[in-house]
Copies of this chain bind each other. A is one copy, B any other.
Amino acid sequence: MRYHKISDETIRRLPVYLRDLLTLSQQRRAGVSSNDLASLLGVNPWQIRKDFSYFGDFGTRGVGYDVENLIRQIRKILRLSTVNKVALVGVGNLGTAVMAYPGFKRYGFEIVAAFDIAPKKIGKHIGDVRIEDITALHTLYRRQIHIAAIAVPRDAAQETAEAVVRAGVKGILNFSPCYITVPKRVKVITIDIAMDLARLPYYLSGN
């Protein structure tokens, strides 16, 4: 293992590896080769090996990889070993769906706060979490919440992003269907299912 700048593409693939490794783990599978993993995942074995090699020597030559160890290593790389506290901003349809989404817990995220602008929602509970007024966002820093999930209408997304950045948030999961501008120290990941849907018809028959 030498020094390498890790590409975003590699980081994009690691969660996919992790997902299927967790499945193998549930199945009490102890070891796995890059070939096995590759066919489970629909990628190439050498891609997997190279991705891992950027971070260290996780496997044993002639044998393969230890599933539990690999899970531990990937979790460490992705900083998923400890719980990541998340604040949800915008408790509408989308926000409620996000709260209920099982993948949140599975990968170590915990929604520990929820905010909305609508007075009638404030004080109500969603799961165990009490919905707070959006003006209380500034408490995030003190509560050591570094990630915000933004699920507000498109027109409010930019100002909401700015508010959570002011509140000290370092990463944003943007569920609003638009690009948002933030200081470059803050990482935004925009999740817009429609963007994935919309490219399917292109591939149907013909080119």
Contacts and interface: CB of A to CB of B under 8 A. Distances in A.
A194 B79 contact: no
A93 B99 CA distance: 12
Contacts of A11: 199, 202
Size class of the contact patch on chain A: 35 or more
Interface stretch (A17-25, A56-64, A112-120, A124-132): A17-25
B41 A80 contact: no
Nearest to A169: B204
B178 A20 contact: yes
Given A6-B207, A147-B201, 12 more contacts: A15-B196, A19-B178, A19-B194, A19-B195, A42-B181, A78-B198, A78-B199, A101-B194, A103-B194, A104-B197, A147-B204, A191-B197
